[in-house]
Amino acid sequence: MDNYKKVQEINKSLNIDAVLISNGNNMRYVSGFAGETGYLYISEKHHMVITDFRYTYQAEMEAKGYEIVTIGNAGYEEAINDILRTDNVKRLGFESGDMLYSKYVELADKLNVDELVPIKDEITGLRKIKTPKELEYIKQAESIGDKVFAEMLTFIKPGLTELEVAARIEYLLKLYGGERSSFPAIVASGINSSMPHAVPTNKKIEVGDFVTMDFGCVYEGYCSDMTRTIVVGKASDRQKEIYNIVLEAQLAALDFIRAGLKGKDVDKVARDIIYNAGYEGCFGHGLGHSVGLFIHEGPRLSPNEEDIIEERMTETVEPGIYVRGFGGVRIEDLIVVTKDGHENYTQSDKSLIEL
Ligand code: ZN
Ligand code: ZN
């Protein structure tokens, strides 16, 4: 992949001679190398993957056109020093948001450079606007989620535990082509559903419970994310009320979203509906986030997001109402932003489903 040219531009703008990319998603985005250990080294003259023996073959296969350096027994620092010397590097950038402090201290001690320059999210920022190919993968990942949700509607019944339901979701995600879950599936029933990121427990699902399922998978490296909340048995009036407010907020935000808006403006549309319905204090998280190689990317849809959302950025739209001691509802779709609106990748039904 020739995304290294974009990194060379960043190097120039930051006045650094070379950069060591350590964030795995950035390594993959820039070079294609999806191994778990190593660095990308990019300077004006070189673009190389530095890794260890376990990943040499993989790097050769995936990072086409890159020099592949396999470190020796002396480790990364020695291998990097060899490169720095021949490449005449004085100022070397590193991803400060990714590196452990202990690792930084080690590199600062051992690397022969004048200066290690912390760079923020310039390289991660390259990933915000998706290519058509990336969008295809994300869409495919989300459609696997839709298929799993449809099947879960025939599986869920009173007496099953949240863990059993979560296990089934994760099994099906793989069965239908996901490489893995994009995050551990959330299954929260009854009063547990009042916790937005509840961890599945051995609690049995009972008649009358809300059941919130939030899950996604990874397809060709790209994540999906969706949430549906259903009721097991007949929904009470209060459950219907809460569900309908969340749905109204979600539909309004979807209707509003388009390229050129600030993330906080989209958030506000959904938030105002929920707060004006009397549920201020019950929607304590942001409306959404972007999704790509990583499950939570920027820009976000949140009360303080100043970033502008642009065409070909993905966003989740996931308002919720969480009432302590009662339960909660979240509805989450994954969309791609277009000039005049959006394309929704999530096809699953959003009317209140009573099983
Ligand atoms: Zn989610
Ligand atoms: Zn999400």
User: What's the residue count for the chain?
Assistant: 355
Residue 319 makes CB contacts below 8 A (sequence gap 6+) with 246, 249, 250, 253, 270, 271, 274, 283, 287, 330, 331
Q: In angstroms, what is the span from residue 297 Cα to ligand 2's centroid?
A: 10
pLDDT score of 36: 85
Q: Which ligand is nearest to the CA of 217?
A: 1
Q: In angstroms, what is the span from residue 196 Cα to ligand 1's centroid?
A: 10
Residues of the chain above pLDDT 90, percent: 99
pLDDT score of 86: 95
How large is the average pLDDT for residues 120-128?
96
Q: What is the mean pLDDT of the chain?
A: 97
How large is the average pLDDT for residues 29-58?
96
pLDDT score of 83: 96
Q: In angstroms, what is the span from residue 162 Cα to ligand 1's centroid?
A: 16
d(CA 212, CA 96): 36
pLDDT score of 177: 98
Q: In angstroms, what is the span from residue 227 Cα to ligand 1's centroid?
A: 5
Q: In angstroms, what is the span from residue 169 Cα to ligand 1's centroid?
A: 13
Q: In angstroms, what is the span from residue 253 Cα to ligand 2's centroid?
A: 15
Q: Which ligand is nearest to the CA of 294?
A: 2
Q: In angstroms, what is the span from residue 346 Cα to ligand 2's centroid?
A: 12
pTM of the predicted protein model: 0.96
Two tokens, residue 172: 């099906």
Q: In angstroms, what is the span from residue 336 Cα to ligand 2's centroid?
A: 14
Q: Which ligand is nearest to the CA of 301?
A: 2
| Strand arrangement, sheet containing 67-70 | 67-70, 47-51, 39-43, 18-21, 91-95, 115-119
Q: Which ligand is nearest to the CA of 286?
A: 2
How large is the average pLDDT for residues 105-113?
96
pLDDT score of 324: 96
Q: Where are the domains of the chain?
A: 3-127, 132-344
Q: Residue 154 burial by CB count (10 A; 0-12/13-18/19+): exposed, middle or buried? A: exposed
Q: In angstroms, what is the span from residue 96 Cα to ligand 1's centroid?
A: 27
Element (H, E) at 40: strand 39-43
pLDDT score of 236: 98
Q: Which ligand is nearest to the CA of 183?
A: 1
Element (H, E) at 328: strand 327-330
User: Of 3.40.50.150, 3.50.50.60, 3.30.420.40, 3.40.350.10, which CATH number belongs to 3-127?
Assistant: 3.40.350.10
Q: In angstroms, what is the span from residue 92 Cα to ligand 1's centroid?
A: 37
d(CA 222, CA 247): 27
pLDDT in tens, 176-216: 999 999 999 999 999 999 999 899 999 999 999 999 999 99
Q: In angstroms, what is the span from residue 27 Cα to ligand 2's centroid?
A: 23
Two tokens, residue 102: 């202990």
Q: In angstroms, what is the span from residue 277 Cα to ligand 2's centroid?
A: 23
Q: In angstroms, what is the span from residue 242 Cα to ligand 1's centroid?
A: 19
Does the CA dihedral 149-151-156-157 come out positive or negative?
positive
Residues of the chain above pLDDT 70, percent: 100
Nearest to 91 by CA among 114, 120, 68, 123: 114
Give yes or no for residue 248 having a pLDDT over 90: yes
Q: In angstroms, what is the span from residue 228 Cα to ligand 2's centroid?
A: 11
Q: Which residues of 240-279 are buried (b: 16+ CB within 10 A; e: fewer)?
A: eebbebbbebbbbbbebbebebbbbbbbbbbbebbeebeb
Nearest to 329 by CA among 165, 148, 195, 149: 195
pLDDT in tens, 146-183: 999 999 999 999 999 999 999 999 999 999 999 999 99
Q: How confident is the model at residue 62 (pLDDT cuts 50, 70, 90)?
A: very high
Q: In angstroms, what is the span from residue 183 Cα to ligand 2's centroid?
A: 10
Q: How confident is the model at residue 2 (pLDDT cuts 50, 70, 90)?
A: confident
Angle of CA points 337, 338, 340, to nearest 5° = 120
Q: In angstroms, what is the span from residue 206 Cα to ligand 1's centroid?
A: 23
Give yes or no for residue 1 having a pLDDT over 80: no
d(CA 164, CA 53): 39
Tokens 């920027």 correspond to what residue?
Answer: 298
Q: In angstroms, what is the span from residue 316 Cα to ligand 2's centroid?
A: 6
pLDDT in tens, 288-327: 999 999 999 999 999 999 999 999 999 999 999 999 999 9
Element (H, E) at 175: helix 162-175
How large is the average pLDDT for residues 326-332?
98
132-344 carries CATH number 3.40.50.360:
no
Give yes or no for residue 44 having a pLDDT over 90: yes
Q: In angstroms, what is the span from residue 348 Cα to ligand 2's centroid?
A: 15
